[in-house]
Structure 1
Amino acid sequence: MEFLFGRKPPVKVDPEDVVMPLHFFERNPLVQGNNMAVSLVFNEVLDPNKLRDALEGLARREGWARLGGRLKTNAAGEIEWHIPRTFSPERPAVDFSHVDHGIPASSHPAASKIPSPSDRPALVADPDDMAGLAWEPGYSPGGIKDYVSSDRPTLGLRINSFTDRTIVVLQWQHVAFDALGLQYVVEAWSKMLWGREAEIPVPCGTDSDPFDALAKGTRPPTETHVLADRLVGWGGILKWGLGYGVDMLLRAKDNGMVCIPESYWRPQLEKALQELREEAVERGEDPSKVFLTEGDILTAWTMRCVVGPMNMSPDRLVAGSIAMSLRKAFEGDLIPSSAEHPYVGNAFGWGNVLISAGDVMSKPLSYVARQVRRAINEQGTRAQHEAYYAMVKSSGTGLPVAIMGDGGMYQIGFSNWTKAGLFGLDFAPARVNPAEEGTATQCRPSYVQENHGPIKPVDGFFVLGKDSLGNYWTSAYPGDLLGLLKALGK
């Protein structure tokens, strides 16, 4: 891990900074190992200074200063927060850059590859083709060491201006916040832009770690985890780690953007709901209580697309690991209500769907989607999250996760960012040219993508959200790109 967390001579610190230790989830190597960049494509010319001023203004508000915090190493070699008491041109709240390309996006070698929606599920782009717009020229994300070795704020804003489009890139080190934390940041940023500062809540205080009890195990679980009997032992972890773990850290990853149009996913969802309602009637149960989300059907469908081309043994276990926010489960307990004081940081757990490859391929999609929903419902409670992190602590593996399943399983990871609301952002106040009469008054992204690194999961899928036309956009790191392409083409 030295390539991620390698030590360099300490960077000079400001003695006036507010110094705070990293929280439990911020010490996670998977978090520290990822620098993030989300690109929002607007089909209009936006004023970069208005966007910058709004974001910097947010960091100056009460409770939001950590967005402009720095990451430093103390004498004990531990990384900690250093938050300037005041921001200045020398130590800004946001690492800002603006490139005015002066040409239409269609004339730029990277921006010309921004995809349009497809009329059926398809791999429509490679997000890495736009990495040169998401990051500074020649930069390759190296994890948290990129921040520790400089006085760089954890939040960055890079704007690429074209004569007909604007690509707004929000950059951050993952220790700053997760996908739901991103929601609170962009919502508040938008309100600053619209002059609605009075509506911006003061975040949950970060002087102390609200999830410290999970980290130290001082809060004994009240129940056993539902998958406690599927916890993988040392032998299985070694076998699994030599496959998936080594692959994740060392193998070059294909990257693809998948568009799933509403004309495809909605009939799949409606069919699945109808099948489950009919089964409920046959069992004498109330069919009105059958529930699936759009995310459930997308997750089930993606599992089938991944497993199908791989010719797995029907008995091989497939493990779907679904990232879940802890906020709702712990509101009113470890953290306050998100509506009043949102926790802008990292707070996540995992739901695990364990299903055989044979069932993924031979059972109706409704069956797989029901297993997804059941895992989220059963494993997403406060008591189950407590039981999960108790297993992490007691396992003795040193890993930040509990491995469920068996050593020979095939792992697929999911992170759904739809709640971040990226496609719903309205940056109309930043327009350079006011909307003409009869045209749309809203100014929303037409396309969203993410780039991150250096840690990239094998068969990791990031659902970035649903656009105004109902299309879902998923960033994919398939282990078998050609196989996925064939599966999407069916």
Structure 2
Amino acid sequence: MCGLFSRKPVVEHCPTDRVVPLHFFENSLLVQGNNMAVPLVFDEVLDPQKIRHALEGLVKRDGWQRLGGRLKKNPSTGKIEWHIPTTFTPERPALNYSHVSHDIASSAHPAASKIPQASSRPSVVCDPDDLAPLAWEEGYSPAGISDYVDTDKPVLGLRIHSFTDRTIVVLQWQHVAFDALGLQYVVENWARMLWGQESSIPTPCGLESDPFAPLADGSRRNEKSEQHVLVSRKVGLGGMLKWGLGYGVDMLVRAKENRMVCIPQSYWEPQLKQALAELRAEATALGEDADKVFLTENDVVTAWVLRSVVLPQNMPAERTVAASIAMSLRKAFIGDLIPDPETSPYVGNAFGWANVLVTAGDVASKPLSWLARQVRKAINEQGTKAQHEAYYEMVRTSGTPLPIVIFGDGGMAQVGFSNWDKAGLFKLDFSPARVGKGEGTCMPVYVQENHGPVKPADGFFVFGKDGRGNYWTSAYKVKGQWGKLQELLEKNEV
């Protein structure tokens, strides 16, 4: 036995483990600072063992074993490494698993009873932290990667709560394991295991070497490489200190509140149609091809959320508002740094950013269509291979430990977006795990996330669209700001 499965530190390393170094995107405070938990709420009674065995079976497959890896610090170099068991055993399992059978209806449970219902208009509907007792083990408060280093705890965890009327399935992981698109690959193939579709599960690309190392070491750059489109807006040292002081106080000192917002289809769909109509009319007036006007649902949702941040704060009209939208790098580098995900997905972290720079006055006074177009423009312009390379060249030469560059100015308001719509959490069909009779699909009716310890203000998670077309998004805000937003929502002023 190489180590006991527990939270207590295990100093010894198992000599049969496969040791793999952390990759560029894993070796940063941005991912190591957060442990993640995603509760998936099903309005049916499910068999926990079927769900568990499906996920364990996936982790044991070739190429997927890293999800059952442990994190150890190399005593010689001091660097954190992956230690992946060659064989998973009851003593060294593939998952950190727990099941709680409550034997009551969810409405009688102090936390589960607070799971919200969709609203008929945009509304603040709940505090996701109220579900933290379900997301984590009793008494646990996430402290980041230190909870895993030099223990024998797998990076992937599964916690299931059974009620007489519903089941809450919680997927837990340390962020070094994967990002939002990596999450998509995990849940898609978890479902395939549950459905007995093992033959359709691809083998992830090998992770012994880091495919994105060329972005980190600058070997992709040459004299003909293009500059980043926002290079002139990069914040200098003085601006960084000013911005960091204000944002740092909000994140580390000031009290914050976590809330979930429901944006119903009856609201966002007309907003999307109106935005497209306005932009097409504008294109026609300018003699441009109106058929080329393009917006996604998420462009409009992101623009609406951005406006909901700015309006309640009564910002000066000239103040810069910077929106950082996380993007996966995979699409830009398929066939170059990584293979086709259909045959060999990259299950890890690989993210870039689209940055939108506007003023508070424009956000408040211009139509939503204008702001949605700024979002779409940033994603299109900054989502190319050349722009990602230019961005990470600035990261490489910045001298900071974070894989990010700050654009704007020292006095700006910062808003972050992590869109999980492509992860398809609301489309996860667990029908084969249904207990008793039932027909049709069995998909989550509610999804949220809990994380810690790093909790930046106005860092929004957009979870996607539920089965009834409603979008859900959550974030921490400085205490009092959520109440101001709800007041404006009730007056239809956002």
- TM-score, normalized by length of structure 1? 0.96
Deviation at 1:270, TM superposition (A): 0.5
Q: Deviations over 1:280-320 (max 9, x none)?
A: 00111110100001111011111111100111110000000
Q: Which range moved further: 219-228 or 422-431? A: 219-228
Deviation at 1:478, TM superposition (A): 2.4
Contact 2:28/2:403, CA 8 A, preserved across alignment: yes
Match of 1:213 in 2: 214
Is 1:417 paired with 2:420? yes
Is 1:172 paired with 2:190? no
**1:470-489 map, 5 Å:** 470-479=469-478, 480-489=481-490
Q: How far apart in 1 are the matches of 2:437 and 2:19? A: 44
Deviation at 1:434, TM superposition (A): 2.4
Q: How far apart in 1 are the matches of 2:322 and 2:18? A: 42
Q: Deviations over 1:136-156 (max 9, x none)?
A: 001000000000142100000
Contact 1:306/1:478, CA 8 A, preserved across alignment: no
Match of 1:443 in 2: 442
Q: How far apart in 2 are the matches of 1:261 and 1:286? A: 31
Deviation at 1:27, TM superposition (A): 0.7
RMSD: 1.1
Is 1:393 paired with 2:396? yes
Is 1:103 paired with 2:104? yes
Contact 2:320/2:359, CA 8 A, preserved across alignment: yes
Deviation at 1:465, TM superposition (A): 1.1
Is 1:23 paired with 2:60? no
* Aligned amino acid, residue 345 of structure 2: P
Is 1:187 paired with 2:188? yes
Matched residue SS, 1:39:
strand
Deviation at 1:477, TM superposition (A): 1.6
Match of 1:326 in 2: 329
Q: How far apart in 2 are the matches of 1:455 and 1:336? A: 33
Match of 2:80 in 1: 79
Deviation at 1:218, TM superposition (A): 1.6
Q: How far apart in 2 are the matches of 1:291 and 1:47? A: 43
* Aligned amino acid, residue 52 of structure 2: R
Contact 2:25/2:403, CA 8 A, preserved across alignment: no
Deviation at 1:10, TM superposition (A): 6.4
Matched residue SS, 1:137:
coil
Match of 1:144 in 2: 145
Contact 2:251/2:457, CA 8 A, preserved across alignment: yes
Q: How far apart in 2 are the matches of 1:180 and 1:11? A: 33
Contact 2:29/2:401, CA 8 A, preserved across alignment: no
Runs of 4+ residues deviating >3 angstroms: 249-252
Deviation at 1:397, TM superposition (A): 3.5
Q: How far apart in 2 are the matches of 1:419 and 1:229? A: 32
Q: How far apart in 2 are the matches of 1:32 and 1:366? A: 37
* Aligned amino acid, residue 233 of structure 2: R
Q: How far apart in 1 are the matches of 2:249 and 2:147? A: 23
Contact 1:11/1:151, CA 8 A, preserved across alignment: no
- TM-score, normalized by length of structure 2? 0.95
Contact 2:95/2:158, CA 8 A, preserved across alignment: yes
Q: How far apart in 1 are the matches of 2:89 and 2:398? A: 46
Deviation at 1:248, TM superposition (A): 2.0
Deviation at 1:215, TM superposition (A): 1.1
Contact 1:478/1:484, CA 8 A, preserved across alignment: no
Match of 1:130 in 2: 131
Q: How far apart in 2 are the matches of 1:98 and 1:258? A: 29
Q: How far apart in 2 are the matches of 1:488 and 1:216? A: 47
Contact 2:243/2:412, CA 8 A, preserved across alignment: yes
Deviation at 1:206, TM superposition (A): 0.3
User: Aligned pair count?
Assistant: 479
Q: How much identity, in percent, do the aligned residues show?
A: 69
**Structure 1: 5+ residue stretches without partners:** 1-7
**Structure 2: 5+ residue stretches without partners:** 1-7
Deviation at 1:395, TM superposition (A): 2.1
